[in-house]
Structure formats: structure tokens, C-alpha cells
Structure 1
């Protein structure tokens, strides 16, 4: 952590101690250090599923409406290049929870409901790290780091086995793509909670998040709000979908897959597959954004806003069939920039820098060491592949140590969205992609060509060879599979 950040953090800590001492000196009661404990920052990590790089207003979108997230960005820090550790869901989440490359963890593709794979309990997860440092931990929503015994998996490890004290609205037999109304197919045990005839999943997650904050206001907490939205099949609340249908340029598509009558509460309604300006995507994202507003209102009402860090991001590139990753190439399931680059906003004006944009690249497994530094955590001796970027939050113009970024995405068959079995490395401005299926290489200079439109492999064989050596050496070090 930069010296200036340490000083700022120390001032917050000392002010808490002073409050505690003054409170105790005004009475004859024994001194209590409760206020000092509260100076450990709360962490709220809000993760969306399959959100496109440019789906937020603060990232240039003019159709979707995300005023609360945009406010976080205007008051906080927006990252130009936040890399996902993988182009699909489960390996991203494995990297987030462990601070390691997915290849090192051994989870490199999304886990099917009956999968025998799961996140090994031998890892000290992010949640377990927080618990060891005095935090209450909670997950609201998607886990996707295990198969499920109810779906035929031989065993499972769900969030309660990985350090989460409270588990709310999380799946226990699959993620049931696009099932956004109660009863939830991904977990039939979840009882309806919200008033009205139909409970919408994202509304339920937002309420659970706010209630978790309220329950834990007197202790430091880590809240992982892991949205199922905006994973396809897209399905927004009808009244909000209509709002976006009326906007200029709204996309359209017919109802499909057994919903020819266009039941508004049944999957695959009209316009849910619109390729541009999708009203259902916009409607779902609008409710995610409402949740951000609810969280901020709750924090302010409890006086916790100055001591709470909010992170808003996504897990991998958006599906190009319904989202936009412009100006980046391709999307989910590919190792092009559109598949592995995420929006990232981090907010806390009281602890961090003035608002701005950070250009230094960061990656999923950097969150683990960053959080450890922010809360001054004790070392747990877990191998970490990331680096802390806490210093960037105080001084956005600072730089991180030079390093390469690596991805490994071996597939038996191409992904249904077009992704191919591949591995890649970014070194400085240069990026090499090795396609396992046809032993092909592509080379790009991201400084001059962030869109990856000009393959330089044929004209720069020396650079290809250099990056091939780096990639091969890394795969050997992490014991990465290539098939």
C-alpha cells in the first residue's frame, strides 16, 4: 500500500479510537473498543453475470439506464481495463475466491449441474480470509463453483463450506438459465418473500442484500451480491420492458421456444433476443441498478457510507447476441478482449482518490491481495497469483509491477457462442492467442489496435516466438491442461 494510503487509513482508524475513548471517558464504564473495530472497512462486491463491457451508461451506453452505478463511477474510480481471469463463469469465480489462476485451481470451464468438479475446500477462500480477520460474510445469489447432488453430481461444496456465514437465494441444483420468477428452478426450497403475486429474482436479491447490511451494521462485513442477471435467457419485468420498448432504437425479436403466445412471465418472450438495444437486458440491468441505489440509501441511513467500499463489475464478456462489448472484439467464450474485459467501478470517496479513470490493467485474482491490504489482514500463506492494487485507489497515476497476463481455456468442443479451445498471453502492449484446435497463432498490438483487427503474427515471427515461450513456461508452472 502506498504510504499516503496507509496514512489516510491510519487517520480513520485513530479517529475511531478517539471516539471510543471519549465515549468511555464520559462514563465510568470499562473502555470498549467497538468503534475501533468498525473502522475496518466493509466490503460490498456486486457481480453481474455476462454484462457487456459497454452496457453501462458510465461506459458509454446511451440506451440502457444505470443512474446509480453511473453515480458511483462519477464519485469513484472507473477502470479502463479490468481483465476477467476467464471468458466464462466458473473459472472466473474460482479465481475471485482463491486469488489464483483458474488453471492453477483446476477449474477452466463452466461447471455443469452434474459435474464432479467443485472448488476444493483446501483453498482459503476470500470469504474465509475475511472471517479470519473478524468479518461477517454473506453471499446473495449465484455460486457456480460446484456440481449439485440433486442434479446427479457425486458431491458438492456450496458457499457455506467456503466461509460464508450467511447464504441467501443461492442455487442448489443448477443455475436454471433465465429463470427469473418464483418459484426458482435453481433452488425449489426458496420460499417466496416479497409481496405481490410474482416475485422477481433480482428484486429478491436486492432486498436480501439490504437486510444483510441492516443485520450486520455493528460489525465489519463482506457482502458478495452475486446477481444471476443478465445471464440469458433474458427476462425483464414487463412494466420495465415496456418502458425501454418505447425508447428510440429499441431492438425487437419474436417470442420463441414454446412461448409463441408471448406470455410475459414465461421464458423467451418477445424482444428477449433482440441483438441491439435489447429491452429485456435494459430492464434487468435497471433493476440491478435500483439495487445499487437501495444499498447506498441503506449505508447512508446507517452512517456506514464513509466506511464501506463498493465494487461493481462482471464475470466475463457479454454475449454478443444480446449485449455490447464495443469497441472490443467478440465476447463471452473467446479470448479476444471482448471476452475477458469487464467494466469495473470502485467507490469510497472518503478513503480513496478523487474521481477518475484508472488505465493500469488489473485482473480478477488481484482482488484477493487488494482486499487483504485494505483491511490489513493477517497473512494466511495462500499462494496468490495477483498483486494488490490498493495503491492505485489512492493514486490512480501510479503503476503496478510489470507482469504478463495469461489465460487458458481448453475445450473438447467449441463453445456454442463461438469460443475455441485456446490459450493467450498479454505482455506489455502485445497479445498472443494460441488456438489449440488448429495450432494457429494470432498476434495483436493492443496499444495501436485494441479492437484486435490487425493480426501481426505473419509479419512479426520473432515476437510470436517470444510470447510462445512465455506462454509455454507459464502453462508448465501452473500445470495447465491443454485438452
Structure 2
């Protein structure tokens, strides 16, 4: 196996250039029912891993996994923050079907700076939602979730037989990464670390179900705030020089703990002889927080619909089946559900909005398509000087986005603003080409408007009576001072 360093969007990605995977193997694979392990890290940025180019964070286990995996360099979350991203991935449906556009409330930020009344926002997915848990359970799989659920009170209402630590909470809470925990989980020993414990439980689930198919959903709470790392690992990074806006030793310690635990799970699968029988997907629910870790060359971070907020790391391994290497096809986490359906049970009665990316696993191509996002609400700024947003007061104001090939158009509803970027030439979304490429702008805007009409996307149009333009101007001046 020959290792090659490939340059991609200015980052060095190390991968193994193998020859595994073929159309014949695809035929064999689609007749099989692999175990599925879906690891979803919370708030992990696109560039926060060694195999994605980080020179500061250390992820040796994931780096090795990447050498045997299909790496999707243009993978996207379906939303830029936790709850809507997870709801959309787990149901395979746009937010218009489940109603979750943000982590409640939808009217964040000072009311005097919001021109519109945001669209209604659901706190939970509807009780009749059909999730990945329901799907795998219907196919005879054992199902378990180990970590952050966040889209209802109990994942056991949605096809998961085992639930360890999952409820409606979006974070472990203050000091919550060390026991005693604030989530619904009792510690087994003093000073237990949450990421370790969740992995312990996931490993036990694998051992108990090694002789039957299983779907293991491992949505770590880490690396969501509050930032809390093991003291000995934090100490390890204190004297390590930072690189390209990545220098937080506590955050680095959390990433290393996550990587160590992924390594433990992978080792368990190997020791039980399950590597050939298990598909492993590793990803993050949205972009990282820019004030904590830069995702350069991508702009902005969590809560934004610039690339740093929605583009996420994603790799897929199925030993002996999936062809390793880098794929630049734009894909979305909403595609995972239809991919599993094609692979395991072609049930066309399940309504899904994504598209199967199974062909990409075997070195084939997908027909060109457009990707869409809709965000009819407000998310206030984290850090006006670090966020990299359009506006220092908000990470995102109401709007929609389309990616079509190398082009990406942002539309904002308050002022009708349009921003057009060529992601091939400008991954930082720094040069707005909307005026100089008016024909492309008009074409993408027509597509975006038609998609919203077809999907019944809510459009906030009611003016906010509390809006005060003078107050807003003063607040912006203070924020950038």
C-alpha cells in the first residue's frame, strides 16, 4: 500500500491509495447487511483533525482510519447548529418536515436589531417521525445510541433499543464532562470522563451483539462547550506551538480523548473479527466555533452558512468493500439515510430528501445536483471580531443558500442581499461575485426560489415592531470598535 500526500483546498491529506472496490464488489456489498457504526462528534470543525490538515491537534487513530476510508472533502451538515443538523440526518428529511431550524429559541439577539419576526421553530421532532433507529430496527438490527440525542426526550421512542446518556440536553452542562454527570447517566467510578464512559458502553454493546447485525450511533457530547479536558492531556499541549488559528490546549485535549476512544472502538471491532462486516462513518454535526478553532481556508464557523459553519469532516470505511481515497463530490449528511436504504433494504415507501451516495463508495459518479439550506430565523454572534460573519451582531440572519457545482449563492431576507462565491477559486468566500456574474446569480436565485416553493419553506415576512435601526447601527459600531 503506497501512501501519498495529496493537496486539497490548500491542506495536506494523507491517505492510502489502494485498489480495493469495484463494480463487482458493489454488487456483492448491496446483497450484504453490514453492521453500521455512525460516529457524530459535536461541534468538531472541518480542519480540526490531523488527516484534514491540522498541525496542532493530534488524531493518530483517525489518521490511520482515513488511510483506509473514502474521505469526503465537500461533506456538509444539513444545518449549521446541533438540533436541526441531527434531526435532518436522523430522519433524512429537510427541516420543513420536522420543523427544527435551530436550537430553541429562534429569536436570539437583541430584538431591536432584528428586522423580521422569525418563523416558528419546533423543539422536538414529531412523534410520527421515522428515524434511522426505526429503519435499522425494522431490518432486524440491534440499535443503540450512546451520547447526545437532543431532538426529543427519549431516543427509545424512535427505534433505539439501548439509550445511554441521550435525552433533550444539548450539552453536558457546567463541569459536566467529569462525574457526577448532569445528563441521565450514573457514573461507575469517581472522576469518570464522559467520553471514556460513552465509549465503554458502546464497546459493551458491540460485544453483546457481535453475532447479529447492529446499528451503533455514537454521538459524543465532546467537543461541545464547556471545554474540559483531562488535566494530563491539557498539560501536554500547553507548550506546543499553535498553528493557523488552532492553539487551545483544552480543546486539543478533548480532541485527543475523542480520538483515543475512537481507537478503542476500532480495536474492539478488529479483535472480534468484525472489520469486514462493519461500515464505519465518522463526521461532525456542524462546523466548529471559530473563536475556539479556525477552519481556514473556510470562512466563519458554527451557526453560519458560510463554509466554516456547514462543511464538516466525513469519512466512510467498509473493509474489503469501499474504495479508499479522496472524493470531492458535494454530499450532505441527509444522504446517509437513502444510502443505507439502498444498501440494506430498498424500501421506496420511506420518504427521504437526500440521495444515495453508494456509487461514490465504489468509485462511481453521481449525477450533478444542487444542495440547499434554509434558515428563516436568527442566531446571535459568539464573538463579533472572530466569527467571520456577514454581520457582527449575528452569526446568521434569516436567509437561504444554494450550492450548485462550484457556485454558492446566499440570499438574505431582511435586505434582499445576495452573495455569490466560486468555491473552487475562493473557498474563503471573500469575493462576492453577485454583481459581476449577474446571469449566474439570477439562475441560482430562480433555483432557490423554486426549491422553497416546492418544499413549502416558511418565509419570515412580518416586520418586527421592536426593530430600531438607530440602535442597530450603534450596536454594530460598538461591536467592531
Asked whether the two chains share a fold, i.e. TM above 0.5, the reply is: yes
State the Cα distance separating 1:451 from its structure 2 match: 1.5
1:374 to 2:343 alignment: yes
Q: Give the structure 2 partner of residue 192 of structure 1.
A: 187
Question: Among 136, 139, 152, which residue is 1:133 paired with?
Answer: 139
Distance in 2, Cα, partners of 1:430 & 1:249: 33
Q: Give the structure 1 partner of residue 333 of structure 2.
A: 364
1:28-67 to 2 correspondences below 5 Å: 40-67=33-60
Distance in 2, Cα, partners of 1:248 & 1:86: 33
Distance in 1, Cα, partners of 2:96 & 2:219: 22
State the Cα distance separating 1:352 from its structure 2 match: 1.3
Q: Give the structure 2 partner of residue 270 of structure 1.
A: none
Per-residue CA deviation, residues 313-369 of structure 1 (Å, 9 max, x unaligned), is 10111000112211111111111111110011111231111x210111110110001
Per-residue CA deviation, residues 269-323 of structure 1 (Å, 9 max, x unaligned), is xxxxxx6311111111111111111111111111111111111110111000112
State the Cα distance separating 1:246 from its structure 2 match: 2.6
**3-state DSSP class of the match of 1:127?**
helix
State the Cα distance separating 1:123 from its structure 2 match: 2.1
**3-state DSSP class of the match of 2:218?**
strand
State the Cα distance separating 1:3 from its structure 2 match: 4.4
**3-state DSSP class of the match of 2:321?**
coil
State the Cα distance separating 1:479 from its structure 2 match: 1.4
Q: Give the structure 2 partner of residue 474 of structure 1.
A: 451
Question: Among 411, 415, 418, which residue is 1:434 paired with?
Answer: 411
Question: Among 234, 247, 259, which residue is 1:241 paired with?
Answer: 234
Per-residue CA deviation, residues 226-258 of structure 1 (Å, 9 max, x unaligned), is 01111122111111100111323389xxxxxxx
Distance in 1, Cα, partners of 2:238 & 2:99: 43
Distance in 1, Cα, partners of 2:25 & 2:307: 31
Question: Among 229, 241, 250, which residue is 1:280 paired with?
Answer: 250
Q: Give the structure 2 partner of residue 123 of structure 1.
A: 129
State the Cα distance separating 1:373 from its structure 2 match: 2.0
Q: Structure 1 residues 241 and 6 mapped into 2: Cα distance closer, same or farther (>3 Å)?
A: same
Distance in 2, Cα, partners of 1:2 & 1:100: 30
- Verify the 8 A CA contact 1:181 1:199 in the aligned structure 2: yes
- Verify the 8 A CA contact 1:140 1:170 in the aligned structure 2: yes
1:391-470 to 2 correspondences below 5 Å: 391-395=359-363, 398-412=364-378, 414-416=380-382, 418-421=394-397, 422-470=399-447
- Verify the 8 A CA contact 1:111 1:144 in the aligned structure 2: no
State the Cα distance separating 1:437 from its structure 2 match: 2.7
Q: Give the structure 1 partner of residue 259 of structure 2.
A: 289
Distance in 2, Cα, partners of 1:359 & 1:64: 24
Question: Among 166, 169, 172, which residue is 1:170 paired with?
Answer: 166
State the Cα distance separating 1:459 from its structure 2 match: 1.3
TM-score w.r.t. the length of structure 2 is 0.82
Question: Among 280, 294, 305, which residue is 1:324 paired with?
Answer: 294
Q: Give the structure 2 partner of residue 153 of structure 1.
A: none
Q: Structure 1 residues 174 and 95 mapped into 2: Cα distance closer, same or farther (>3 Å)?
A: closer
Q: Structure 1 residues 402 and 329 mapped into 2: Cα distance closer, same or farther (>3 Å)?
A: same
Q: Structure 1 residues 250 and 391 mapped into 2: Cα distance closer, same or farther (>3 Å)?
A: closer
Q: Structure 1 residues 206 and 413 mapped into 2: Cα distance closer, same or farther (>3 Å)?
A: closer
State the Cα distance separating 1:78 from its structure 2 match: 1.0
**3-state DSSP class of the match of 2:100?**
coil
Per-residue CA deviation, residues 381-439 of structure 1 (Å, 9 max, x unaligned), is 122111111111111xx321221110011214645463222211111221110112322
Distance in 1, Cα, partners of 2:95 & 2:381: 18
| Count of residue correspondences | 414
